[in-house]
């Protein structure tokens, strides 16, 4: 009997199991439904006129010829839109001193980056809207542009927003411990300047929106490729003067997001404004050139840093100066201070380093706005720290992996607070390092490297230990005044068939949110997985919540689902006990049936419970009401974040004559706490690593010295493709977080966080016989050749 009970329980436990995504079956048959796939009647389309200059005053806009194009419905300029939409300013209270300027969907008077929209044409088709946009004449007065962040703060730099006084958006200084003393007593000081090129998220589905305003109800329905339907509902309501409840945001299938699809963009706001004005659905699908010009860019950091180490290789202190250019505005509503803030706070994070001094300067410049993209700040902090660790190890003659082993925060130290104020509940650096060395067969690889070098083949091995911020609490945005929910909610109902329907506020963009939530619900309710369906992404039908960003979906949304499942189970057992004239405590639910808790014997299938509860409540005692729906919300408490950790290694070969880097293998060992679905976790890591490899080797938004964006196609902006990517070997250590009953932390950004650092260290390892090194990403063949003195 006991055995049978176990078997049943096992059939109902889906947490920790590899389960393919039901969504993937649908999408693999071409049955996805992205914004652009949805059919509308009376649909109108927009096209934008954009600034050809990095910085210029708009003297006049002549829209007459455009209005005369048959099929053109309306033309709106920046001046016009001021009366249609409340402006915004991308600042938050918890970044004291952060400043930015007022922004409208279209530039008013002055355009401040190449590609900024200045007018919009509404027409019966996108082609006709573009025909109209072609005919709009803008008279410009070019203004001096600020392009290089290094010059933005110089006294003679043109001030982009005169009312703000200077081009400094934000400054932060951190200091802890005895930094000067540490450097004075150091046996060795590692030092370097690291550049992180501008790149961008490049979702394959471009930003997409259809705004559909019903003037009779004053109801705005927005079909939007977004990560954050609730945040956007709030933004649309406030900026268009609508009741919150009169705005419905629906995120259908989303073709990639990576942090790119949670910011407020002028084009989407203009589409809404025009829908409200004309009372018909308005579509904006960014084309690829528009995407390069207006999707948020990321990184663009210059970091000068040094690290003091003792003769034994102990890291004593770091001193860091990070300068980052964010474009002409801090992006609304999350601000562009977050990446720099995280970059300087994550420095040295894995290590016991007692002293730290960090300075951050965030400056305005005339380039596309920069904001949060996958692994916000992490790749910067990781590459600077790990680059200096390697330099120090090399100088002291210590093996780089051993150098890391000597410095990581160890098991006896938790909970541990970093000198920048981050608190770690429990990480697993030592275990991860041990596992990595074993997986990659480190010693053999070193021997092979030496042999290859004899043959004139230059291979490198690079490591990067990392920590990742996941499961952010209210401290992330809410305390600063942003109306971005820190909690998530779940509503769960049992249908008459016994099937379970789950509505949850976290969203799906392909990472597997819906599958993971189904696994959790099925497990905690005791039903077969195929009996659970999960619905996300509609503000009208989902409970309110923060949605999916900052690696919070599984760790926060998952707990909301777990708690709801427990609550619904309790409800169902109460109903079952009433029907069966038993005590709820004597019963359980397993494999979709009510069973005897003691024997596991099946008492009634849930479908029978559903039949009675919904259709024959007359058979139940008077006064009894079956509760067949439950709702719960969850917000993480105790720690501001749940940090994850891990280590990556890159093995590559540098062609020292061409500068070309060939990736041979990549390893990741990471600890995201309780793993809910190993398949999905591994694929999140692989995808994340490849985005990191893109930043390390290929991706760069190139500008002319005057601020012209030079890469407007995917042939110019190089991304990782299948042929150049290595196999990525993934291993795990599981340290469940005790801050949540589920024990799960996030995993969405770990891959991206450390891959660039690992590649940089591997290239520099390969180049070490030549005394050459690189520290400017991406590491193009030309930059490698320059480091080698060949060009």
Of 102, 137, 141, 782, the one binding other proteins (CB under 8 A) is: 782
Query: Scanning residues 522 to 561, which ones bind other proteins (CB under 8 A)?
Result: none
Window of 89-97, 382-390, 508-516, 756-764 that interacts with other proteins by CB under 8 A: 508-516
User: Cβ of residue 133: shortest distance to other proteins, in angstroms?
Assistant: 10
Of 8, 21, 112, 306, the one binding other proteins (CB under 8 A) is: 21
* Neighbouring-strand partners of residue 75: 121
A 10 A CB-CB count for 760 gives: 30
Window of 405-413, 570-578, 610-618, 653-661 that interacts with other proteins by CB under 8 A: 653-661
Query: Scanning residues 234 to 253, which ones bind other proteins (CB under 8 A)?
Result: 253
Window of 28-36, 174-182, 262-270, 417-425 that interacts with other proteins by CB under 8 A: 28-36
User: Cβ of residue 429: shortest distance to other proteins, in angstroms?
Assistant: 24
User: Is the torsion defined by CA of 173, 178, 182, 185 positive or negative?
Assistant: positive
User: Cβ of residue 67: shortest distance to other proteins, in angstroms?
Assistant: 15
Query: Considering the rule CB under 8 A, would residue 651 count as an interface residue with other proteins?
Result: no
* Binding letters toward other proteins, positions 453-492, x by CB under 8 A: ----------------------------------------
User: Cβ of residue 513: shortest distance to other proteins, in angstroms?
Assistant: 11
Window of 27-35, 56-64, 266-274, 385-393 that interacts with other proteins by CB under 8 A: 27-35
User: Cβ of residue 131: shortest distance to other proteins, in angstroms?
Assistant: 7
* Neighbouring-strand partners of residue 632: 490
Of 15, 128, 647, 758, the one binding other proteins (CB under 8 A) is: 128
Query: Scanning residues 131 to 170, which ones bind other proteins (CB under 8 A)?
Result: 131, 134
Distance CA 110, CA 140 (A): 9
Window of 19-27, 381-389, 540-548, 732-740 that interacts with other proteins by CB under 8 A: 19-27
Distance CA 253, CA 377 (A): 28
Query: Considering the rule CB under 8 A, would residue 718 count as an interface residue with other proteins?
Result: yes
Window of 127-135, 267-275, 276-284, 623-631 that interacts with other proteins by CB under 8 A: 127-135
User: Cβ of residue 288: shortest distance to other proteins, in angstroms?
Assistant: 4
572 φ, ψ (degrees, to nearest 5) = -65, -35
Residue labelled with tokens 């720099």: 340
Of 151, 219, 629, 719, the one binding other proteins (CB under 8 A) is: 719
Identity of the residue, 161 or 261, whose beta carbon is nearer to other proteins in the bound complex: 261
Identity of the residue, 141 or 727, whose beta carbon is nearer to other proteins in the bound complex: 727
Query: Considering the rule CB under 8 A, would residue 511 count as an interface residue with other proteins?
Result: yes
Distance CA 268, CA 258 (A): 18
Whose CA is closest to 676, among 738, 634, 739, 734?
734
Whose CA is closest to 465, among 519, 386, 521, 396?
386
Query: Considering the rule CB under 8 A, would residue 311 count as an interface residue with other proteins?
Result: no
User: Cβ of residue 655: shortest distance to other proteins, in angstroms?
Assistant: 9
Query: Considering the rule CB under 8 A, would residue 708 count as an interface residue with other proteins?
Result: no
A 10 A CB-CB count for 593 gives: 22
User: Cβ of residue 286: shortest distance to other proteins, in angstroms?
Assistant: 10
Helix or strand (DSSP H, E) at 698: none
Query: Scanning residues 194 to 223, which ones bind other proteins (CB under 8 A)?
Result: 201-206
Whose CA is closest to 278, among 68, 73, 66, 65?
73
Query: Scanning residues 29 to 68, which ones bind other proteins (CB under 8 A)?
Result: 29-34, 36-37, 39
Query: Considering the rule CB under 8 A, would residue 665 count as an interface residue with other proteins?
Result: no
Buried b (16+ CB within 10 A) or exposed e, 535-570: ebbbbeebbbbbbbbbbbbbbbbbbbbbbbbebbbe
Query: Considering the rule CB under 8 A, would residue 781 count as an interface residue with other proteins?
Result: yes
Query: Considering the rule CB under 8 A, would residue 608 count as an interface residue with other proteins?
Result: no
Of 109, 451, 570, 716, the one binding other proteins (CB under 8 A) is: 716
* Binding letters toward other proteins, positions 723-742, x by CB under 8 A: xxx-xx--------------
User: Cβ of residue 130: shortest distance to other proteins, in angstroms?
Assistant: 5
Distance CA 538, CA 459 (A): 50
* Neighbouring-strand partners of residue 61: 138
Task: Give strand ranges (E) for 723-783.
Answer: 727-732, 776-777
User: Cβ of residue 732: shortest distance to other proteins, in angstroms?
Assistant: 16
Distance CA 347, CA 401 (A): 18
User: Cβ of residue 682: shortest distance to other proteins, in angstroms?
Assistant: 8
Query: Considering the rule CB under 8 A, would residue 16 count as an interface residue with other proteins?
Result: no
Whose CA is closest to 358, among 380, 376, 330, 387?
380
Tokens of 737: 């977080």
Query: Which residues are CB-neighbours of 486 under 8 A, at least 6 positions away?
Result: 472, 473, 474, 476, 477, 478, 546, 635, 636
| Three-state DSSP state, 739 | coil
Of 581, 623, 713, 771, the one binding other proteins (CB under 8 A) is: 713
Binding residues for other proteins, how many (CB under 8 A)?
A: 85
Distance CA 273, CA 76 (A): 10
User: Cβ of residue 210: shortest distance to other proteins, in angstroms?
Assistant: 14
**What's the half-sphere exposure (Cβ side, CA atoms, 13 Å) at 101?**
26
534 φ, ψ (degrees, to nearest 5) = -120, 135
User: Cβ of residue 250: shortest distance to other proteins, in angstroms?
Assistant: 17
User: Cβ of residue 6: shortest distance to other proteins, in angstroms?
Assistant: 27
Query: Scanning residues 673 to 692, which ones bind other proteins (CB under 8 A)?
Result: 679-680, 683, 686-691
Query: Which residues are CB-neighbours of 101 under 8 A, at least 6 positions away?
Result: 89, 161, 163, 164, 328, 329
Query: Considering the rule CB under 8 A, would residue 715 count as an interface residue with other proteins?
Result: yes
Contact in structure between 693 and 752 (CB atoms under 8 Å): no
- CA-to-CA separations, 525 to 12, 15, 32, 128, 749, in angstroms, rounded: 8, 12, 29, 54, 30
DSSP code for 767: H
Burial of 171 (0-12, 13-18, 19+ CB in 10 A): middle
User: In the β-sheet with 642-654, what is the strand arrangement from edge to edge?
Assistant: 458-470, 642-654, 661-671, 727-732
Of 16, 17, 27, 596, the one binding other proteins (CB under 8 A) is: 27
Identity of the residue, 19 or 106, whose beta carbon is nearer to other proteins in the bound complex: 19
Distance CA 561, CA 685 (A): 24
User: Cβ of residue 29: shortest distance to other proteins, in angstroms?
Assistant: 6
Distance CA 261, CA 285 (A): 13
Identity of the residue, 12 or 513, whose beta carbon is nearer to other proteins in the bound complex: 513
Buried b (16+ CB within 10 A) or exposed e, 90-102: bbbebbeebbbbe
Query: Considering the rule CB under 8 A, would residue 791 count as an interface residue with other proteins?
Result: yes
Window of 189-197, 226-234, 348-356, 709-717 that interacts with other proteins by CB under 8 A: 709-717
Task: State the pairing for strand pair 458-470/642-654.
Answer: antiparallel
């Amino acid at each position: 009997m006991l055995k049978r009970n176990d078997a049943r329980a096992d059939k109902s436990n889906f947490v920790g199991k590899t389960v393919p995504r039901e969504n993937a079956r649908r999408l693999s048959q071409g049955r996805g439904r992205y914004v652009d796939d949805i059919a509308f009647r009376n649909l109108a389309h927009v096209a934008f006129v954009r600034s050809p200059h990095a910085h210029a005053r708009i003297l006049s806009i002549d829209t007459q010829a455009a209005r005369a194009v048959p099929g053109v419905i309306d033309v709106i300029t920046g001046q016009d839109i001021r009366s249609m939409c409340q402006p915004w300013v991308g600042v938050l209270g918890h970044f004291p001193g952060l400043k930015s300027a007022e922004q409208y969907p279209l530039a008013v008077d002055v355009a401040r980056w190449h590609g900024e929209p200045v007018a919009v044409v509404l027409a019966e088709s996108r082609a006709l809207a573009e025909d109209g946009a072609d005919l709009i004449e803008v008279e410009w007065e070019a203004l001096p542009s600020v392009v290089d962040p290094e010059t933005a703060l110089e006294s003679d730099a043109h001030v982009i927003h005169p009312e703000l006084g200077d081009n400094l958006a934000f400054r932060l200084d951190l200091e802890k411990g005895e930094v000067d003393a540490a450097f004075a007593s150091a046996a060795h000081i590692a030092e370097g300047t690291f550049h992180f090129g501008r790149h961008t998220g490049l979702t394959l589905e471009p930003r997409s929106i259809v705004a559909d305003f019903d003037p009779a109800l004053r109801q705005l329905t927005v079909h939007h490729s977004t990560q954050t339907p609730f945040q956007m509902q709030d933004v649309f309501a406030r900026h268009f003067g609508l009741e919150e409840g009169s705005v419905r945001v629906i995120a259908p299938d989303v073709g990639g997001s990576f942090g790119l699809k949670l910011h407020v963009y002028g084009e989407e706001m203009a589409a809404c404004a025009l829908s409200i004005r004309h009372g018909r659905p308005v579509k904006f699908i960014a084309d690829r050139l528009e995407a390069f010009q207006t999707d948020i860019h990321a990184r663009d950091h210059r970091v000068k840093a040094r690290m003091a180490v003792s003769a034994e290789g102990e890291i004593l202190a770091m001193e860091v100066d990070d300068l980052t250019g964010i474009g002409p505005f801090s992006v609304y509503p999350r601000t562009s201070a977050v990446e720099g803030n995280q970059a300087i706070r994550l420095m040295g994070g894995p290590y016991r380093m007692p002293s730290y001094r960090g300075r951050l300067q965030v400056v305005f410049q005339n380039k596309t706005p920069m904001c949060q993209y996958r692994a916000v700040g992490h790749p910067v902090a990781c590459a600077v720290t790990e680059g200096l660790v390697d330099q120090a190890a090399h100088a002291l003659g210590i093996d780089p992996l051993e150098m890391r082993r000597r410095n990581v925060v160890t098991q006896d130290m938790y909970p541990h607070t970093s000198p920048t104020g981050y608190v770690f509940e429990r990480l697993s650096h030592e275990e991860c390092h041990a596992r990595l060395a074993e997986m990659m067969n480190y010693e053999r690889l070193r021997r092979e490297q030496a042999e290859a070098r004899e043959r004139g083949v230059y291979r490198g091995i690079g490591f990067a230990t990392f920590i990742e911020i996941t499961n952010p609490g209210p401290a992330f945005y809410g305390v600063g005044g942003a109306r971005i929910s820190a909690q998530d909610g779940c509503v769960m109902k049992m249908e008459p068939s016994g099937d379970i329907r789950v509505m949850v506020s976290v969203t799906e963009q392909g990472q597997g949110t819906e599958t993971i939530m189904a696994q959790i619900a099925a497990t905690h309710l005791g039903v077969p997985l195929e009996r659970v369906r999960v619905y996300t992404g509609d503000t009208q039908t989902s409970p309110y919540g923060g949605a999916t960003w900052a690696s919070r979906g599984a760790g926060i949304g998952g707990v909301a689902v777990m708690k709801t499942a427990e609550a619904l189970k309790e409800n169902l057992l109460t109903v079952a006990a009433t029907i069966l004239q038993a005590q709820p405590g004597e019963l359980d639910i397993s494999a979709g049936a009510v069973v005897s808790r003691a024997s596991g014997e099946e008492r009634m299938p849930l479908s029978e419970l559903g039949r009675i509860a919904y259709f024959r409540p007359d058979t139940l005692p008077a006064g009894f009401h079956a509760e067949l729906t439950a709702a719960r919300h969850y917000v993480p408490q105790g720690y501001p974040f749940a940090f994850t950790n891990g280590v990556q290694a890159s093995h590559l070969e540098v062609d020292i004559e061409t500068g070309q880097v060939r990736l041979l293998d990549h390893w990741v060992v990471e600890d995201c706490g309780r793993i809910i679905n190993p398949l999905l976790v591994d694929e999140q890591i692989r995808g994340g690593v490849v985005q990191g490899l893109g930043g390390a080797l290929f991706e760069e938004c190139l500008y002319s010295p005057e601020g012209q964006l030079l890469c407007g196609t995917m042939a110019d902006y190089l991304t990782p493709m299948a042929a150049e990517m290595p196999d990525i070997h993934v291993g795990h250590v599981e340290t469940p977080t005790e801050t949540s009953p589920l024990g799960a932390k996030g995993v969405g950004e770990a891959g991206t966080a450390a891959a660039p650092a690992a590649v940089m260290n591997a290239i520099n390892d390969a180049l070490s016989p030549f005394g050459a090194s690189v520290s400017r990403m991406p590491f193009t063949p030309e930059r490698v050749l320059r480091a080698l003195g060949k060009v």
